[in-house]
């Protein structure tokens, strides 16, 4: 009975000690730092991250997103907590507690199982879990800057535990399934795909050791079979994430598989990460480059790190590797435990060598390793990646060695002395050496110009976000003042912000600077800015008086306020720190549009301002830079000016799909889509999805209760305008998703946003005609455009497959229905189907095995 209570006591102690995270918080202040981004609007962020294109990042212009990795379990649980009424502050406290406690628990269960033949396996497991929870690597590097990567850190022990059990048990399929579920939980770390890859590397080396140290042909066959089952289940159960990531990795990391590509940037990253990775530092888990660095004269780690330069703490931190070294000389250890110690020692030594990076000694060899072996440069942030493996190995070796020393002390000095020994170990290594965990200094405050990692965002921002969510017309906001260097970071009196953070709070695409170096030319000339803004689909200018005056250019703020009477912009909302100015819709272009005038430039997009400053440059214009479209120039078929433009009717179905109905198209025209150019965006011609005739043909009945919303009066079509659209055939759907007429915009630059258009079905583009990729060009220096020739597309002779999808009007013009789709989203849908199917099949099979008593 007493033996059974020991693990319960240790588990309770781990759960209790993890409560230290509650000391890290200040009242009503969130913790926000580095790559850790708490969900400011949990439900909205959960929905947004279901898609692999994010409109909110990339300075509000959109970029491919890895946010889907954070959907489960992180965002799903946070969204659920938000829905049941928990505050962001409370949710973040719970999240921090779970990260610390689970890291201890998974390590405890791994070591307890691995060393189960040892009398002190419970003690070894407890000490190892404490080391895994409280160490200088996570102290300075992981908390709180890299919390997303902590999912791989906390579930690495559990992955190895299930892999070990599967290799040693006839219930291999059960443990393969459990391991696949563990990788499911690792998903939030997969925003950096090298983290799950690191887990596979650890498992691979364990496979080698397990079979080489205890060679047996039958056991080897079982190991191969189980490993195959394990990998298969991991891939297919996590296909919802794996499939889109294979595409993402093949594109984003293609240079890492080339010896000659990307060497300079990768080399710079490795050099920075190797600044302080001397053996002296990495032996004691203190090789993070920022520990001794500073920003504009202010150290990143002023008071906290200086304590670790003192002789007592240096001696304590160096004692850790010395204790690990003792394990090599311990006698009377059974063969299996010796093998495990050898394995974890190998992991630690390998990680030490790789964490060192290009720091001497052997710097040149590591340079060759990182940049001559195809693919290895993906680990160029070596301290970040291999530091996890180093701490993992250290924790297990430290736990086992201390437990073994405990037995020696007990045999020589008795129970009281051995307990005092454990007390000293706890005080020295987990209190003194990890003091910032207990004092709260792990979350740093202000350090000169460097802001505190505790932030309290003014309520203004959330009020503004609620107001913007009622905006129906697609657009962007741009935040003033700009940063002098054009960076996407924003500094406020209340803390740091970014375009990502502000976009999430506003739930609206937010630009914090202008691309292409335009800031240097335009920040002081509002008239020039108003000529440039239409290119980026900007609807609002927002001034923010909470910004630090020493970091931003304020000269344009007064000009915005003094020019609100010239009808170009007008103030529509004012809060304590934020003022919203709406740009006259006639001076803006829609999210989707066809230009009236085209400009061709032989320069790069950095010259966009010069082109836009030309006297004949108008609002409904487009600029093609030849260097953006090498080999795909269409100057010979595109006129510089269009006498007749088709009418576009569109709906943004979701971040990865838009439906466009082209009305009265007579001749070639560019279709411009104001999201960042990406080869993943594809345009398809599809079968028109029409409402029943009686829904459209009797507008008076349909419009009886139609009334524009007060919030959208300036943008929404009134009753007379809508009747005119219906008469001309420019609006082809009236009833929205809730049996009412949803938002229909005015006619802006020959474009009508109609939120009543159907969403369509999931597979509608999968077997449809794709518009030729050679007609997919970059426009305005960032956006997508497709050159469409209706006379070619709808010709029975030239395109028999698409001609029957066009409707020809009596005047010879065409009605065409298009869907623009971000192609990689299909991989999410396909992968999710595979994951669900795998879960069902595996579950049914395991239940059958259990019922037949084979499991």
CA distance 820 to 823: 9
Higher pLDDT pick, 450 / 582: 582
Higher pLDDT pick, 94 / 499: 94
pLDDT at 642: 84
pLDDT at 574: 94
CA distance 78 to 81: 5
Q: What is the DSSP letter of 142?
A: I
Cβ burial of 686 (10 Å; 0-12, 13-18, 19+) is middle
Q: Which token pair is 654?
A: 């979701």
pLDDT at 639: 79
- Lowest average pLDDT, out of 29-43, 235-249, 545-559, 789-803, goes to 545-559
| C-alpha of 16 from chain center | 32
**Three-class DSSP labels, 20-73:** HHHHHCCCCCEECECCECCCCCHHHHHHHCCCCEECCCCCCCCEECCHHHHHHH
Q: Which token pair is 412?
A: 């020589």
pLDDT at 721: 94
CA distance 500 to 57: 5
Residues 672, 594 contacting (CB under 8 angstroms) = yes
Annotate 335-357 with DSSP letters as a single string. HHHHHHHHHHHHHHHHHHHHHTT
Neighbours of 743 (CB within 10 A): 19
Whether 703 has a pLDDT exceeding 50, the answer reads: yes
Q: Which token pair is 28?
A: 């009503």
Higher pLDDT pick, 291 / 127: 127
pLDDT at 554: 52
Residues 161, 113 contacting (CB under 8 angstroms) = yes
Question: Parallel, antiparallel, or unpaired for β 776-779 and 657-665?
Answer: unpaired
Higher pLDDT pick, 105 / 639: 105
Higher pLDDT pick, 666 / 617: 666
CA distance 102 to 394: 18
**Three-class DSSP labels, 724-748:** HHHHHCCCCCCECCCCCECCEECCE
Mean pLDDT for the stretch of residues 92-97: 97
Average of per-residue pLDDT values in the chain: 86
pLDDT band at 168 (very low <50, low <70, confident <90, very high): very high
pLDDT band at 735 (very low <50, low <70, confident <90, very high): confident
Return all residues near 545 (Cβ < 8 A) that are at least 6 apart. 577, 578
Q: Which token pair is 13?
A: 């102690």
Tens-place pLDDT, residues 390-414:
999 999 999 999 999 999 899 898 8
Mean pLDDT for the stretch of residues 582-591: 88
pLDDT band at 693 (very low <50, low <70, confident <90, very high): very low
Residues 571, 562 contacting (CB under 8 angstroms) = no
Question: Parallel, antiparallel, or unpaired for β 294-295 and 298-299?
Answer: antiparallel
Whether 76 has a pLDDT exceeding 70, the answer reads: yes
pLDDT at 260: 38
β-partners of residue 814 are 665, 808
Long-range contacts (CB closer than 8 Å, 24 or more residues apart) made by 488-493: 488/59, 488/512, 488/513, 490/544, 490/547, 491/451, 491/547, 491/548, 491/551, 491/552, 492/544, 492/546, 492/547, 492/548, 493/546, 493/548
Whether 558 has a pLDDT exceeding 70, the answer reads: no
CATH of domain 457-587: 3.40.50
CA distance 94 to 789: 57
Mean pLDDT for the stretch of residues 158-174: 93
Q: Which of 390, 439, 436 is closest to 140 using CA atoms?
A: 436
Q: Which of 522, 392, 396, 449 is closest to 113 using CA atoms?
A: 396
Whether 699 has a pLDDT exceeding 60, the answer reads: no
pLDDT at 562: 63
Mean pLDDT for the stretch of residues 350-355: 90
Annotate 773-836 with DSSP letters as a single string. GGGEEEETTTEEEEEE-HHHHT-TTT-HHHHTT-EE-TTS-EEEEEEEEETTHHHHHHHHHHHH
CA distance 109 to 161: 8
Whether 253 has a pLDDT exceeding 70, the answer reads: no
Residues 88, 213 contacting (CB under 8 angstroms) = no
Residues 825, 656 contacting (CB under 8 angstroms) = yes
- Lowest average pLDDT, out of 166-180, 525-539, 676-690, goes to 525-539
Helix (H, G, I), strand (E, B) or coil at 87: coil
CA distance 745 to 593: 13
pLDDT band at 262 (very low <50, low <70, confident <90, very high): very low
Cβ burial of 459 (10 Å; 0-12, 13-18, 19+) is exposed
Tens-place pLDDT, residues 768-826:
888 989 999 999 999 999 999 999 889 877 778 777 889 999 999 999 999 999 999 99
Residues 291, 285 contacting (CB under 8 angstroms) = no
Q: What is the DSSP letter of 322?
A: H
Q: What is the DSSP letter of 443?
A: S
Q: Where are the alpha helices (DSSP H) in 634-684?
A: none
CA distance 164 to 161: 5
Whether 744 has a pLDDT exceeding 90, the answer reads: yes
pLDDT at 74: 92
Higher pLDDT pick, 731 / 4: 731
Dmax (CA) of the chain: 104
Following CA atoms 76, 78, 79, 84 in sequence, which dihedral angle do they give, to the nearest 10 degrees? 130
Question: Model's pTM, two decimal places?
Answer: 0.91
Tens-place pLDDT, residues 708-720:
888 888 999 999 9
pLDDT at 166: 96
**Three-class DSSP labels, 200-239:** HHHHHHHHHHHHHHCCCHHHHHHHHHHHHHHHHHHHHHCH
**Cα dist. 340→114, 206, 346 in Å?**
8, 9, 10
Residues 374, 257 contacting (CB under 8 angstroms) = yes
Higher pLDDT pick, 2 / 768: 768
Q: Domain locations in the chain?
A: 457-587, 593-823
Give the percent of the chain with pLDDT over 90: 53
CA distance 50 to 605: 32
β-partners of residue 477 are 510, 540
């Amino acid at each position: 009975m007493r033996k059974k209570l020991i693990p319960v006591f240790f588990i309770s102690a781990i759960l209790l000690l993890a409560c230290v995270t509650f000391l890290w918080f200040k009242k009503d202040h969130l913790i926000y730092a580095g790559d850790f981004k708490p969900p400011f609007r949990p439900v909205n962020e959960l929905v947004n991250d279901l898609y692999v294109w994010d409109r909110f990042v990339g300075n509000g212009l959109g970029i491919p997103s890895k946010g889907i990795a954070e959907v489960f379990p992180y965002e799903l649980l946070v969204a659920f907590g938000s829905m049941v009424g928990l505050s962001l502050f409370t949710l973040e406290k719970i999240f921090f507690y779970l990260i610390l406690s689970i890291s201890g628990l998974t390590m405890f269960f791994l070591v307890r199982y691995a060393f189960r033949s040892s009398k002190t396996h419970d003690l070894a497991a407890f000490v190892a879990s404490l080391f895994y929870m409280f160490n200088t690597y996570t102290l300075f590097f992981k908390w709180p800057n890299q919390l997303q990567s902590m999912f791989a850190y906390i579930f690495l022990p559990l992955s190895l535990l299930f892999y070990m059990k599967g290799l040693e048990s006839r219930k291999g399929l059960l443990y393969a399934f459990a391991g696949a579920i563990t990788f499911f939980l690792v998903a939030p770390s997969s925003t950096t795909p090298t983290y799950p890859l690191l887990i596979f590397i650890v498992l691979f080396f364990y496979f080698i050791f397990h079979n080489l140290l205890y060679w047996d042909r039958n056991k080897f066959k079982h190991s191969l079979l189980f490993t195959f089952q394990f990998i298969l289940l991991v891939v297919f159960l996590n296909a919802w994430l794996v499939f889109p990531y294979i595409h993402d990795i093949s594109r984003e990391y293609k240079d890492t598989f080339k010896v000659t590509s990307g060497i300079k940037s990768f080399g710079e990253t490795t050099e920075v990460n190797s600044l302080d990775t001397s053996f002296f530092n990495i032996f004691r888990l203190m090789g993070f480059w920022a520990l001794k660095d500073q920003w504009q004269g202010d150290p990143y780690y002023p008071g906290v790190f200086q304590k670790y330069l003192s002789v007592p703490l240096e001696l304590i931190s160096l004692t850790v590797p010395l204790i690990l070294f003792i394990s090599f000389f311990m006698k009377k250890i059974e063969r299996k435990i010796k093998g495990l110690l050898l394995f974890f020692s190998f992991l630690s030594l390998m990680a030490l060598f790789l964490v060192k990076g290009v720091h001497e000694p052997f710097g040149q060899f590591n340079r060759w390793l990182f940049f001559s072996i195809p693919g290895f440069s993906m680990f160029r942030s070596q301290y970040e990646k291999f530091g996890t493996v180093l701490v993992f190995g250290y924790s297990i070796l430290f736990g086992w060695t201390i437990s073994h020393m405990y037995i020696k002390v007990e045999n020589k000095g008795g129970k009281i002395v051995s307990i005092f020994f454990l007390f000293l170990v706890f005080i020295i290594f987990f209190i003194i050496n990890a003091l910032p965990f207990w004092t709260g200094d792990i979350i740093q405050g202000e350090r000169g110009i460097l802001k505190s990692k505790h932030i309290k965002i003014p309520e203004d921002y959330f009020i503004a976000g609620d107001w913007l969510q009622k905006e129906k017309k697609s657009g962007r906001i741009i935040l003033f003042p700009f940063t002098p260097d054009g960076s996407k970071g924003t500094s406020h009196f209340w803390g740091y912000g970014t375009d990502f953070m502000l976009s999430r709070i506003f739930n609206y695409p937010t630009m914090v600077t202008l691309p292409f170096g335009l800031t240097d030319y335009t920040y002081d000339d509002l008239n020039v800015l108003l000529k440039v803004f239409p290119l980026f689909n900007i609807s609002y200018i927002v001034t923010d008086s909470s910004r630090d005056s020493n970091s931003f250019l304020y000269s344009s703020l007064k000009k915005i306020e003094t020019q609100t009477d010239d009808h170009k912009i007008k103030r529509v909302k004012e809060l304590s720190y934020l003022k919203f100015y709406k740009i006259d819709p006639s001076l803006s272009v829609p999210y989707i549009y066809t230009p009236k005038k085209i400009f061709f430039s032989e320069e790069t997009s950095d010259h966009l301002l010069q082109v836009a400053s030309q006297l004949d440059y108008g609002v409904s214009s487009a600029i093609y830079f030849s260097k953006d479209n090498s080999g795909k120039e269409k100057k010979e078929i595109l006129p510089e000016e269009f006498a007749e433009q088709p009418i576009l009717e569109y709906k943004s179905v979701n971040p990865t799909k838009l439906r466009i109905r082209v009305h009265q198209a007579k001749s070639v025209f560019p279709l411009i889509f104001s999201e960042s150019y990406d080869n993943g965006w594809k345009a398809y011609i599809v079968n028109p999805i029409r409402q029943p005739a009686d829904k459209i043909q009797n507008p008076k009945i349909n419009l009886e209760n139609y009334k524009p919303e007060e919030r959208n009066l300036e943008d929404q079509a009134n009753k007379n305008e809508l009747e005119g659209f219906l008469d001309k055939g420019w609006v082809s759907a009236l009833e929205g998703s809730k049996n009412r007429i949803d938002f229909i915009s005015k006619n802006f630059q020959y474009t009508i946003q109609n939120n009543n258009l159907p969403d369509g079905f999931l597979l509608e583009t999968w077997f449809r005609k794709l518009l030729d990729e050679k007609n997919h060009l970059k426009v305005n220096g960032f956006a997508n455009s497709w050159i469409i020739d209706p006379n070619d597309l709808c010709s029975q002779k030239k395109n028999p497959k698409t001609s029957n999808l066009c409707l020809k009007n009596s005047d010879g013009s065409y009605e065409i229905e298009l869907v623009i789709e971000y192609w990689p989203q299909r991989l999410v849908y396909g992968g999710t189907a595979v994951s669900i199917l795998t879960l069902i099949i595996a579950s049914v099979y395991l239940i059958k095995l259990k019922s037949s008593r084979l499991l």
